[in-house]
Amino acid sequence: MTAPHPLVLFMPSGKRGRFPVGTPVLEAARQLGVYVESVCGGRATCGRCQVSVQEGQFAKHGITSSNAHLSPVGPKEERYERVRGLPEGRRLSCSALIMGDLVVDVPQDAVINAQVVRKEADARIIERDPAVHMCYVEVEEPDMERPLGDLDRLKAALAKDWRYGDLEVDFHLIPKVQAILRKGEWKVTAAVHRDHDEDRPRLIALYPGLKNEAYGIACDIGSTTIAMHLSSLLSGRVVASTGASNPQIRFGEDLMSRVSYVMMNPDGREAMTSAVRGALSDLIDRVCEQGDVRREDILDTVFVGNPIMHHLFLGIDPTELGGAPFALAVSGAVSVKSSEIGLSLNEGTRTYVLPCIAGHVGADAAAATLSEGPHRQDEMMLLVDIGTNAEIVLGNAGRVVAASSPTGPAFEGAEISAGQRAASGAIERVRIDPVTLEPRFRVIGIEPWSDEPGFAEAAAETGVTGICGSGIIEVIAEMYLAGIISEDGVVDGALAARSSRILATGRTFAYLLHDGEPRITVTQNDVRAIQLAKAALYAGVKLLMDKQGIDHVDRIGLAGAFGTFIDPKYAMVLGLIPDCDLENVKSVGNAAGTGARMCLLNRGYRREIEETVRKIEKIETALEPKFQEHFVHAMALPNKVDAYPHLARVVTLPERKTLAEGAEAGGRRRRRGRE
């Protein structure tokens, strides 16, 4: 009986297999489908295929692993280490041969660059399998006896060394191939793009000599903010991140006003497409400068955005999205040469745009879903991205449903008397003493709270100018907890007797949050605006819960800028989100940007989200008869009918008290148009 071949286990993937003694570790990884980067194709020159071997007994796997089970460092590897250096314990997997059982670590060298505060790249490590591979080859020189063309000999070399048979070639390379081959003295690095496994691979760029780096861009085009990450396609490292306001804001703050602009202006679509593409170009300049990367070295790009941004970015008239049946021009993923959408990068650079889920649930929601992975887990997860139109996804591995809800711009500070964007001077945190009804608050740009030493001095400089989204959530929730407003949202005028903070304003009352210049109050109308917005959101969530047949969710992810800054507890006090263990309610930051980055670094995620989006059931809230009922119940704080047992454990919810609100008694009910 011969001894079996050595057993090799790759971490972190856990893939394993037996290989003959003498097999290069890189080859074993390839055979198992473990992604290990390599540009030079086993010539020990690019250094991309580093691995390390764990020492010791791994009883669980039945492996005793040791560096001694690798072949000794040979002359090529030795030369690489001498010239370029290798971290302690690292080996080049192209040169290290399997001599015995091994546990091999594939290092995930993702070094995060945390330059940008608001929309920085998620720190997670993304397993790599990019759509673009860099492949170094040495090409046979031309020969009169066998008159194959230069390009054809390059293709033969790529088929032989990299198994890229039947290669397609971007036409722009054809007039250049001879000069590049000669400049590289018949040694070149080919950038080969293959997204779908069943696609023919495609040569998209060609460099003389060894080209040991390539980059990609992942970008979330939000209605208000654009976030962009520049990553190495080879190491996965985020090289630079940046963000900017969406310049389309000048055509309209919210999405519907931008659609109206297109409908009203003959050149509106082009103007908005140019604006967003121009902004992207500026951001590309910025990340390139930050990362010291040339535009030509960016070979792949991934974009997400809500349906209207998605359409405008692609040059599609979004008018159809402005009215029922809200028909998307295209819902599936879009693949295109970047130059076709006016991005000036390498001529061969590709763009992938994630699929949209529905007419109001965009590629950004798809990307957030990919990032947070409700479809990958058993627990029932609610994912909410609150903008002027909330995108809601609810599900688990068994079933995922999605909807949008017309929350309107109240959460962003519009429709609020003292509302403003989250910027210096905005009140972002509020506490109200339930006995004295006196507030304390915190202002963006000022470190101390308003009742702490140093606040007055700082405020004198910055000013206290308004209330931002998270501040409005907190002040109304605190007003409710302090008994200033009833569960129906009526400001209790009777309290005016007890506190000068309660002001009569015509037939209703307001709460004086800050008696400065300007004077900042929370009016009855402000409370109503927030109630309407949160009721719309909650009604949408509730419809999805109905579809799933559940009465509580296990986890909640709050996506987007708004989700990043609101305190989940206050969101729950307001009844913006359903009851849930607060431990399991998390801000997920720019989950859409993270999902885009996942698709950039691993084309497997593209298939995953395409498949997931195909399966997601879309609920059109406007067509659901129960929406109105849920909406009415959700006008109450936190909710007229739904219990908040988890919340009640951490917050003392006030007893129910019903107040009539002057002329508005009985509650105003309206169903707002879509936005």
Whole-angstrom Cα distance, residue 647 to residue 574?
A: 11
Cβ partners under 8 Å of residue 134, min gap 6: 39, 189, 190, 191, 211, 212, 213, 214, 233, 234
Look up residue 554 and give its two tokens.
Answer: 């296990």
Whole-angstrom Cα distance, residue 456 to residue 462?
A: 10
When asked if residue 623 is in the footprint of a second copy (CB under 8 A), the reply is: yes
Whole-angstrom Cα distance, residue 132 to residue 125?
A: 19
In the complex, the smallest distance separating the C-beta of residue 287 from a second copy, rounded to whole angstroms, is: 24
Number of residues that bind a second copy (CB under 8 A): 52
When asked if residue 172 is in the footprint of a second copy (CB under 8 A), the reply is: yes
- Binding window for a second copy (CB under 8 A); candidates: 52-60, 331-339, 591-599, 649-657: 331-339
User: Is-cis flag, bond preceding 518, omega within 30?
Assistant: yes
56, 62, 325, 506: which one contacts a second copy (CB under 8 A)?
A: 325
160, 163, 200, 519: which one contacts a second copy (CB under 8 A)?
A: 200
When asked if residue 399 is in the footprint of a second copy (CB under 8 A), the reply is: no
Tell me whether residue 179 or residue 660 sits nearer to a second copy (CB atom). 179
In the complex, the smallest distance separating the C-beta of residue 563 from a second copy, rounded to whole angstroms, is: 24
159, 244, 512, 622: which one contacts a second copy (CB under 8 A)?
A: 622
Tell me whether residue 341 or residue 446 sits nearer to a second copy (CB atom). 341
336, 503, 632, 659: which one contacts a second copy (CB under 8 A)?
A: 336
4, 147, 453, 549: which one contacts a second copy (CB under 8 A)?
A: 147
When asked if residue 175 is in the footprint of a second copy (CB under 8 A), the reply is: yes
- Binding window for a second copy (CB under 8 A); candidates: 151-159, 209-217, 285-293, 541-549: 151-159
Contact code string over 356-375 relative to a second copy, x by CB under 8 A: xxxx----------------
When asked if residue 171 is in the footprint of a second copy (CB under 8 A), the reply is: yes
Tell me whether residue 112 or residue 329 sits nearer to a second copy (CB atom). 329
**Which CA distances in Å does 453 have to 363, 385, 431, 457, 515?**
46, 37, 17, 9, 18
340, 433, 438, 583: which one contacts a second copy (CB under 8 A)?
A: 340
When asked if residue 116 is in the footprint of a second copy (CB under 8 A), the reply is: no
Q: Is 123 exposed, middle or buried (0-12, 13-18, 19+ CB in 10 A)?
A: exposed
Whole-angstrom Cα distance, residue 217 to residue 298?
A: 7
Tell me whether residue 186 or residue 441 sits nearer to a second copy (CB atom). 186
Report yes or no: 362 and 307 within 8 Å, Cβ to Cβ. Answer: yes
**Half-sphere exposure in the Cβ direction for 304 (13 Å, CA):** 34
When asked if residue 185 is in the footprint of a second copy (CB under 8 A), the reply is: no
68, 327, 397, 665: which one contacts a second copy (CB under 8 A)?
A: 327
Greatest distance between any 2 Cα atoms in the chain = 104
In the complex, the smallest distance separating the C-beta of residue 136 from a second copy, rounded to whole angstroms, is: 21
When asked if residue 155 is in the footprint of a second copy (CB under 8 A), the reply is: yes
Paired residues of 90 in beta bridges:
52
Q: How many CB atoms lie within 10 A of CB 30?
A: 15
When asked if residue 331 is in the footprint of a second copy (CB under 8 A), the reply is: yes
49, 151, 354, 401: which one contacts a second copy (CB under 8 A)?
A: 151
Whole-angstrom Cα distance, residue 49 to residue 46?
A: 8
Contact code string over 257-296 relative to a second copy, x by CB under 8 A: ----------------------------------------
Which of 216, 381, 417, 391 lies closest to 302, judged by CA? 216
Report yes or no: 583 and 554 within 8 Å, Cβ to Cβ. Answer: no
Whole-angstrom Cα distance, residue 413 to residue 415?
A: 6
- Say which amino acid occupies 522: V
Tell me whether residue 567 or residue 620 sits nearer to a second copy (CB atom). 620
When asked if residue 177 is in the footprint of a second copy (CB under 8 A), the reply is: yes
Q: How many CB atoms lie within 10 A of CB 475?
A: 29
In the complex, the smallest distance separating the C-beta of residue 326 from a second copy, rounded to whole angstroms, is: 7
In the complex, the smallest distance separating the C-beta of residue 198 from a second copy, rounded to whole angstroms, is: 8
When asked if residue 197 is in the footprint of a second copy (CB under 8 A), the reply is: no
Tell me whether residue 146 or residue 670 sits nearer to a second copy (CB atom). 146
In the complex, the smallest distance separating the C-beta of residue 368 from a second copy, rounded to whole angstroms, is: 18
When asked if residue 665 is in the footprint of a second copy (CB under 8 A), the reply is: no
**Half-sphere exposure in the Cβ direction for 223 (13 Å, CA):** 25
68, 114, 174, 648: which one contacts a second copy (CB under 8 A)?
A: 174
Cβ partners under 8 Å of residue 598, min gap 6: 126, 367, 370, 371, 605
Tell me whether residue 337 or residue 633 sits nearer to a second copy (CB atom). 337
Please report, to the nearest 10 degrees, the dihedral formed by the alpha carbons of residues 274, 276, 277, 283 taken in order.
140
Paired residues of 509 in beta bridges:
504
- Say which amino acid occupies 86: L
**Which CA distances in Å does 478 have to 484, 527, 652?**
8, 12, 11
- Binding window for a second copy (CB under 8 A); candidates: 330-338, 446-454, 530-538, 580-588: 330-338
Q: How many CB atoms lie within 10 A of CB 351?
A: 22
For residue 87, give the DSSP letter. -
List contacts with a second copy (CB under 8 A). 142-152, 155, 166, 168, 171-172, 174-175, 177-179, 198-200, 314-317, 320, 324-332, 334-337, 340-341, 356-359, 618, 620, 622-623
